[in-house]
Amino acid sequence: MKIGVIFPQTEIGEGREGLRRYASGVESLGFAHILAYDHVLGADPEVHSPWPGAYDIDTTFHEVFVLFGHLSAICSLELVSGIIILPQRQTALVAKQAAEVDILTGGHFRLGVGLGWNSVEYEALGKDFHTRGRRLSEQVQLIRKLTNERSVSFKGVHETVTGAGISPLPVQRPLPIWFGANTPPALRRAGRVADGWFPQAQPGAGLEEAKAIVTEAARGARRDPTTIGMEGRLTIDPANLDQLAEGLEAWERAGATHVTLNTMRLGLDGVEAHLEVLGAAAKLCDLR
């Protein structure tokens, strides 16, 4: 089971020096990957009141593909988008950006995709919020073709490409595409299509129910469910690291191939505070 970290972009500042210190520090601690969340725009709560979202216009989000291009020059960690909100983006452009990140990382990239929840963001990017689920599977199908084939002709319900392709192609062919999944339709999509998935439940009855849906959908699509990766998520409690050890063991028993540790919303201030907590976690996990 590989252990990585969630990039705490909302809490480590905007400058590139902080990004460099964080990535270098995470690599030196022995973690396997950095996972970054995606938002292009934040909503203004004064305009969209009451605003129910966890993030808004004042929350710092680095653009994931540009960020990963920068981080690829700093560290050799696997970089993971967790997740790119695919239906609000142009599919062919995402394929091009993903291929480029895969090249710059030397084939150490996972493209995590999902639906998102922010209708304000969809509107601003010119995409239909209400059809996002129906479009996602077709987008993934097209991305797979564009990142594997020199020349692509594709005619779908929502996507059309006529005799075109991207160059250079990625190092990894096929490029690993993982899904964020929570609702039954999303879990079934993951089972049918994804190389791996990011559960929203912790180990226990909820996770087992979600796994059963993924497994059933995979078998229905004549896929081997044991080949589909699963990445859990754990928030670190600095005052109770024994709880972290228990959480990692629970994810391993549940069959996770990866686990990502979260240090956001712990009241930490700045890069060094996040790295200090991760350092304690790394010792517990015996990463080095």
- Please state the three-class secondary structure of 43-66 as a single string: CCCCCCCCCCCCCCCCCCCCCHHH
**pLDDT attached to residue 39:** 96
For the domain with range 2-184+229-285, which CATH number is right: 3.20.20.150, 3.40.50.300, 3.20.20.30, 2.60.40.1180?
Answer: 3.20.20.30
Angle at 34 between CA 60 and CA 98, to 5 degrees: 85
The stretch 226-250 carries a mean pLDDT of 93
Domain locations along the chain: 2-184+229-285, 185-227
Taking the model in full, what pTM does it have? 0.96
The distance in angstroms from the start CA to the end CA of the chain is 15
Report whether pLDDT(186) > 90.
yes
**pLDDT attached to residue 265:** 92
Report whether pLDDT(287) > 90.
no
Report the C-alpha gap between 141 and 134 in whole angstroms.
Answer: 12
Report the C-alpha gap between 110 and 221 in whole angstroms.
Answer: 22
Residue 220 sits at φ, ψ, to 5 deg, of -65, -30
- 198-227 pLDDT, tens digit each: 999 999 999 999 999 999 999 999 999 999
In contact, 236 and 263? CB cutoff 8 Å: yes
